[in-house]
Amino acid sequence: MPPAGTGSTTGRLSTSMSNTCLAPSLLSVCFRLSTEYFAMSTSRLRPRCLSVLLAALLLWGGLPTASAQPQRAVRADTLYTMTGDPIENGVVLIENETIAAVGPASEVDVPASAEVHKASVVTPGLIDPRGTVGLSGIYNVPADQDQLDTSEPMQPALRALDAYNPREQLVSFVQQLGFTTVHTGHAPGALISGQTATFSTAGTTVEASLRDSITTVAFTLGPDAQARFESPGTRAKGVAMLRQALHDAQAAMDGGEPEGGDLGQDVLQDVLRGEVPALITAHRAHDIQTALRLQEEFGFDLILDGAAEAYLMTEEIAEADVPVILHPTMARPSGTTQNAAFTTAGVLHDAGVPVAIQTGWEPYVPKTRIALYEAAIAMAHGLPREAALASITREAAEILGLESVGTVAPGQRADLALFDGDPFEYTTHVCTVLSGGEVVSDECK
């Protein structure tokens, strides 16, 4: 993935560097060819040598080569860049994997050779900031449900990338709905259920689709972490077990113990060093307060997950400067989510709390598809339109530390969703999806 800021120069830079490396050898070749050319006495051989000489000189001179893929242009009646106000009659130019230019049609010239795509509305490729797609499958049977291992209550060593299936039908399904990035992995339901990772929905191998191998470590507080294990049996026991595991990791780190002896402890040390955030699922207000208390005690970076009763803890969450990835409201409220509210996203946003909206750990399929509808519900209950769209684009990327996606700007990865109408209208379709500048879906869904 090209770094942010490279823009459309990536292809030219690589060509220039390649020609620079070849220059010394080509210089000697050109000198030898020119000498042989003028030494030749037969006119039959001179044209052949001249053609070789000219080809070498042109290559040495840095003759531009064709791009790895055709340059594309996207025209939008309304373009949501998520970096400023929407652009009416906007244009996006794409070169290779990145966005080369963005602006009104009056300011951005579209090359005659560009392949042009048109849409009513264009947004950044959508991001699901918390789900299990790729670990949980479309059939919803034990054979395709790898998102939660219940053999032990604490398993920080479990890696999402070892269970992710890029060929899972759900991955391609949600891609067609505009989702180009998914933050997925081990589900809530254990004190430490494992790691999460971030993937592009394009690519047929883990290596091709992987964007971040360890995005967070997933924790759960409250009754949801107690139901599947003999221990913990209470909230207090669960928190004591977590604190002990973190203390042990801290002691090993302070004692200079080499990494590699305990994979799970190594991961917890990454959390304690602030290299990997702790994603703590906590729905009840007092469980949210416990998560904030643990953060204060151990100093790790915290992302609140689920947070059904976050509207009761708005001031505390804002003061702690902790982002929230809200659980779906379309799931029937019960148990720890009994008091979930449609207004929570708007309340948190008004308090200055960064908010993303997830599909979450759902007992039903097809999972990620509902994130856009969740954002629409939040908008209908007080979340501003741009903030609602940001909750599954820019804000989601910022919370997860993803720098190259979530906005439409020069140098960013060319992930785009093209709609035939208002993205928040139920009857609107995603008609084209671009991932890394390539069209990965072109059928209205």
Q: pLDDT tens digits for 273-313?
A: 999 999 999 999 999 999 999 999 999 999 999 999 999 99
Consecutive H or E run containing 75: strand 72-79
Q: Is a pLDDT exceeding 70 seen at residue 57?
A: no
Work out the average pLDDT over 263-281: 98
Of 339 and 19, more confident:
339
> Would you say the C-alpha torsion 381, 384, 385, 391 has a positive or negative sign?
negative
Helices (H), 192-262: 206-209, 235-254
Higher per-residue pLDDT: 17 or 91: 91
* Single-letter code of the amino acid located at 329: T
Handedness of CA 283, 284, 290, 295 (dihedral sign): positive
Query: In a 3-state reduction of DSSP, which class is residue 24?
Result: helix
Question: What is the share, in percent, of the chain residues with pLDDT greater than 90?
Answer: 73
**pLDDT, tens digit (0-9, with 9 covering 90-100), for 215-255:** 999 999 999 888 788 889 999 999 999 999 999 999 999 98
Predicted pLDDT at 236: 96
Task: Give Dmax over CA atoms of the chain in angstroms.
Answer: 97
Residue type, 237: K
pTM for the structure as a whole: 0.83
Band (362; pLDDT cuts 50, 70, 90): low
pLDDT of residue 13: 31
Average pLDDT over residues 428-439: 97
Residue 225, pLDDT score: 85
* Interior angle at CA 81, CA 77 and CA 86, nearest 5: 50
* 405-438 per-residue burial string, b: 16 or more CB within 10 A, e: under 16: bbbbbbbbbbbbbbbbeebbeeebbbbbbbbbbe
Please confirm whether the linkage preceding 104 is cis (ω < 30° from 0): no
pLDDT band with cut points at 50, 70 and 90 for residue 333? confident
Return the higher-pLDDT residue of 24 and 210. 210
Helix pair 10-39, 45-60: axis angle to 10 deg: 150
Q: Mind giving me the DSSP string for 278-308?
A: EEEEE-SHHHHHHHHHHHHHH---EEEEE-T
Handedness of CA 158, 161, 167, 172 (dihedral sign): positive
- Closest to 372 in 3D by CA, of 237, 242, 179: 179
Q: Are 365 and 170 in contact (CB under 8 A)?
A: yes
The two tokens of residue 223 are 């009754």
Q: How confident is the model at residue 269 (pLDDT cuts 50, 70, 90)?
A: very high
* Confidence (pLDDT) at 143: 83
Computed over every residue of the chain, the mean pLDDT equals: 86
